[in-house]
Amino acid sequence: MRDEELFHAEVQRFNGLLFDLIEERTRNCNNKILSDALNYIRETGGKRLRPIICLLAAEAVGGSRDKALSTAIAIELLHNATLVHDDIIDENAIRRRSLSNPARFGAKNAVLMGDLLLGFSCEMLAECGKPEVVRVVMRALSNIALGQYREFMLRLRTLDGVTEQAYMEVAELKTASAFMASAEAGAILGCGGGVELENLRSYGKNLGVAFQIQDDILDICGDPAKTGKPIGLDIKNRERTILVIHALKHASCADRAYIGDIMTGKIEAGETEIERVREILINTNSIKYAVALSKELLLNAKSNLECLEDSDAKYKLQLIADFVSMRVEDQILHMYYNES
């Protein structure tokens, strides 16, 4: 079986288990809003990276993935709940090539749906029977919320006050936290040792930060048919992404001033403005810089796995890092970015 088929088989296996749970929960359910929230997850799909990492981490340290299943499902429910709230905050209309949850059901209903998914996530998490795992996952939830808040606060800072370090701290909290918790929780449930837990947590951190950087890249250079989102949402939302931070250091005075006007709302970001910002990011090599940074993090993630004994689970965790690396290479518009 080819590597890509191996990974898709993992996704299909998890989806089967998740969808069975959704079917059981929504059967004869009088709570329509919860049924809508769960069916939305089933209909819109997703990469399922976090729960699969949880299952593979348990197996990679010599444990059983079955013992990690309820936690893996809890993490996927939690992730989807945070996406609902994220789309409300950012007023995103599109998610995974479909209407976002708030765009389909309304912002007020979406708030309740996100809360219900979080509640269901806690129910599933309690089934693991390990307080340490509950602590790890709930800490991740707190960190995700804190990361979202810090990201919002970055928009209010002067551009000179936004550093790459501040960006990386937000990326670790907002995005990497769920990856870290997935790997660590799986390792705990698989009865892994201290070194294994530490390295798997670092694997999740490196993978998650790289994933966020790639999201930033794809927002400005991705193929909307593959990303499922229109180009330039981060620019419209005045996000201080790693690309913008790099460009501000290397752009001409005129281009730096233009980005500043976009980021402070003096200029509204339409298609023409987004295109000009993209050209600045290309000319300052900011896209190349971000791609190189994400690749370095993914190499670090793979090196974190070296402490594990060779196994199919370890190999699949390595594959996930490889597939995340290919995520940009497969989707980026080569007319805007050339590695040569």
For residue 329, what pLDDT is reported? 74
The overall average pLDDT reported for the chain is 92
Q: For residue 179, is pLDDT > 90?
A: yes
How does pLDDT run across 19-50, given as a tens digit for each residue? Answer: 999 999 998 788 889 899 999 999 998 899 99
Per-domain residue ranges of the chain = 3-331
For residue 315, what pLDDT is reported? 96
How does pLDDT run across 61-113, given as a tens digit for each residue? Answer: 999 999 999 999 999 999 999 999 999 988 888 888 789 999 999 999 999 99
Nearest to 184 by CA among 95, 282, 60: 60
The β-bridge relationship of strands 98-99 and 94-95 is antiparallel
Distance CA 279, CA 337 (A): 10
How does pLDDT run across 2-26, given as a tens digit for each residue? Answer: 888 888 999 999 999 999 999 999 9
Q: Which CATH superfamily is domain 3-331 in?
A: Farnesyl Diphosphate Synthase (1.10.600.10)
Q: Bridge partners of 95?
A: 98
Burial (CB < 10 A; 0-12, 13-18, 19+), residue 276, is middle
Nearest to 75 by CA among 143, 15, 122, 41: 122
Name every residue whose Cβ is closer than 8 Å to that of residue 299 and which is 6 or more positions away in sequence: none
